[in-house]
Amino acid sequence: MVASIKQNKQKNKGLFITIEGIEGVGKSTAIGFLQAYLQEKGKSFLVTREPGGTEIAEAIRKLLLAHYNETMTQEAELLLMFASRAQHIAQVIKPALKDNKLILCDRFTDASFAYQGAGRGMPEAFIAALEKWVQGDLKPNLTILLDAPAKLGAQRAKHRGVSADRIELEQIQFFERARGCYLVRAKAEPDRFQVIDATQSLVQVKTKLTEIIDSLLQ
């Protein structure tokens, strides 16, 4: 796995790492830990997120996650996700890779397959077509999937102390389907994915994150 990532790194100059997982698995905590760890290592890196990452993409994020009296169609949600992604890729990701930076991104296209695909029931072929159109051959060099049962994730999410957004209010079955999709994708691309059991203690999760990053930066 590490060898294939290093080969991709040479091709793309920079290193594109995505952090994935359903609600409540600890993505924000993991990214904060990795950010501090990379700073200690003296590495040049960029932290960003999806949907979002640019002025326009963040505006689309607000549109996607706000609550409305009107129901947002599945098609509108998927297209807005990729509209935000198109801005993000053009304005942030590609320039950072060109400058040989390491990118830590909170979610990317795997989330669209999991949430809009498995969660909403949108055909995978539609998402794959948008992926090809918007991204071309751009893919993450490494995807860290934090995995935990949907019920546990929902319990943890309740203790955040912030109001749930439109997508976070979905039923538990939605997140179970999304989790299942993530695991299927991880199994299909073992050279790209590293799966971490997010039911472990925070110390154990941080140890695994450190091992992954250290092996990558050697």
Kindly state the helix (H) or strand (E) to which residue 18 belongs, with its residue range.
strand 15-20
SS3 106: strand
Q: What is the pLDDT of residues 131-173, one digit of tens each?
A: 999 999 999 999 999 999 999 988 887 766 677 888 888 899 9
3 band by pLDDT with thresholds 50, 70 and 90: very low
- Taking the CA atoms of 161, 166, 167 and 173 in sequence, report the sign of the dihedral they define: positive
Give the pLDDT confidence score for residue 166 in this predicted structure: 87
Give the pLDDT confidence score for residue 169 in this predicted structure: 85
Q: How many CA atoms lie within 13 A of 81 on its CB side?
A: 25
Give the pLDDT confidence score for residue 154 in this predicted structure: 84
Residue-level length of the chain: 218
* End-to-end alpha carbon distance in the chain: 13
In this structure, are residues 196 and 208 in contact, taking their beta carbons and an 8 Å threshold? yes
Q: Which amino acid is at 217?
A: L
pTM of the shown model: 0.91
Residue 124: CB atoms within 10 A of its CB come to 13
Give the pLDDT confidence score for residue 161 in this predicted structure: 64
Q: What is the pLDDT of residues 56-88, one digit of tens each?
A: 999 999 999 999 999 999 999 999 999 999 999
**Pairing, β 102-106 against β 15-20:** parallel
pLDDT at 188 over 50: yes
Give the pLDDT confidence score for residue 9 in this predicted structure: 47
Count Cβ atoms within 10 A of the Cβ of residue 200 and give its class: 0-12 exposed, 13-18 middle, 19 or more buried: middle
Q: What is the pLDDT of residues 90-132, one digit of tens each?
A: 999 999 999 999 999 999 999 999 999 999 999 999 999 999 9
pLDDT at 174 over 70: yes
Give the pLDDT confidence score for residue 10 in this predicted structure: 42
Residue 106's nearest CA partner among 168, 30, 172, 20 is 20
pLDDT at 4 over 70: no
Enumerate domains of the chain plus CATH numbers. 2-217 (3.40.50.300)
